[in-house]
Amino acid sequence: MESPLALYRRYRPETFADVIGQDHVTTPLRAALANNRVNHAYLFSGPRGCGKTTSARILARTLNCEQAPVADPCGECDSCRDLARGGPGSIDVIEIDAASHGGVDDARDLREKAFFAPVRSRYKVYIIDEAHMVTTQGFNALLKLVEEPPPHLRFVFATTEPEKVIPTIRSRTHHYPFRLIPPRLLSGYLSELCQQEGVAVEPAALPLIVRAGAGSARDSLSVLDQLLGGAGPEGVTHELATGLLGYTPTALLDDVVDAFAAGDGAGVFGVVDRVIETGQDPRRFTEDLLRRLRDLVIVAAVPDAPATGLIDVSEDQADRLVAQAARFGPAELSRAADLVASGLTEMRGATAPRLLLELICARVLLPGADTDGGVAARVDRLEKRAAIAGGAPSPAPVREDPAPPTVQHPTAPVAEPAPEPTPAPAPAAAEPPPADPEPEPVPPAAPPVVPDPEPTPAPAAEPAASGGGLSLVEVRRLWPDVVEATKLRRRVAWMHLTQNSQVVSVEGNVLTLGFTNVGARDSFVGGGCDEILRQAAIDVAGVDWKVEAIVDPGASGGTPAPSASAPAPAAEPEPAPEPPADEPPAQRPWERAQAADAEARGLQGDAPEQSGDPDDDAHRDDPDADADGLGGAALLERELGAQVIDEIPHT
Q: 343 or 481, which is more confident?
A: 343
Band (377; pLDDT cuts 50, 70, 90)? low
Question: Measured at the alpha carbon of residue 550, what is the angle toward residues 544 and 556, in degrees to the nearest 5?
Answer: 95
| CATH architecture of residue range(s) 183-245 | Orthogonal Bundle (1.10)
Band (397; pLDDT cuts 50, 70, 90)? very low
| Alpha carbon distance 629, 612 (integer Å) | 9
Provide the Cα torsion 301, 306, 307, 312; round to 10°.
140
CATH superfamily of 458-551: DnaA, N-terminal domain (3.30.300.180)
Please state whether beta strands 153-159 and 41-45 pair in parallel, antiparallel, or not at all (unpaired).
parallel
Band (156; pLDDT cuts 50, 70, 90)? very high
Q: 306 or 429, which is more confident?
A: 306
| Distances in whole angstroms, Cα of residue 6 to Cα of each of 42, 88, 221, 222, 591 | 29, 18, 8, 7, 105
Say if residue 279's pLDDT is above 80.
yes
Class of domain 250-388: mainly alpha
Using one digit for the tens of pLDDT, what is the confidence trace for 21-52?
999 999 999 999 999 999 999 999 999 999 99
**Mean pLDDT within 532-547:** 84
- Please give the mean pLDDT across all residues of the chain: 76
**Mean pLDDT within 6-33:** 92
**Mean pLDDT within 263-274:** 92
Q: 399 or 306, which is more confident?
A: 306
**Mean pLDDT within 375-398:** 52
**pLDDT recorded at residue 256:** 93
Band (374; pLDDT cuts 50, 70, 90)? low
Return the closest-CA partner of residue 650 out of 597, 617, 592, 603.
603
Say if residue 289's pLDDT is above 70.
yes
**Mean pLDDT within 596-604:** 49
Band (174; pLDDT cuts 50, 70, 90)? very high
Say if residue 650's pLDDT is above 60.
no
**pLDDT recorded at residue 605:** 41
Using one digit for the tens of pLDDT, what is the confidence trace for 399-409?
444 444 444 44
Band (583; pLDDT cuts 50, 70, 90)? very low
Say if residue 640's pLDDT is above 90.
no
Band (422; pLDDT cuts 50, 70, 90)? very low
Using one digit for the tens of pLDDT, what is the confidence trace for 495-512?
888 888 888 888 888 889
**Mean pLDDT within 86-106:** 90
**Mean pLDDT within 319-334:** 86
Q: Was domain 7-177 assigned CATH 3.40.50.300? A: yes
**Mean pLDDT within 8-21:** 91
**Mean pLDDT within 403-432:** 43
Say if residue 110's pLDDT is above 60.
yes
0.75 exceeded by pTM: no
| Distances in whole angstroms, Cα of residue 592 to Cα of each of 430, 595, 596, 614, 626 | 14, 5, 6, 9, 17
Extents of the domains making up the chain: 7-177, 183-245, 250-388, 458-551
What are the residues whose beta carbons fall under 8 Å from the beta carbon of 132, sequence distance 6 or more? 98, 159, 160, 161, 162, 164, 165
Band (380; pLDDT cuts 50, 70, 90)? low
Q: Flag the least confident range among 8-12, 373-377, 611-615.
A: 611-615
**pLDDT recorded at residue 167:** 93
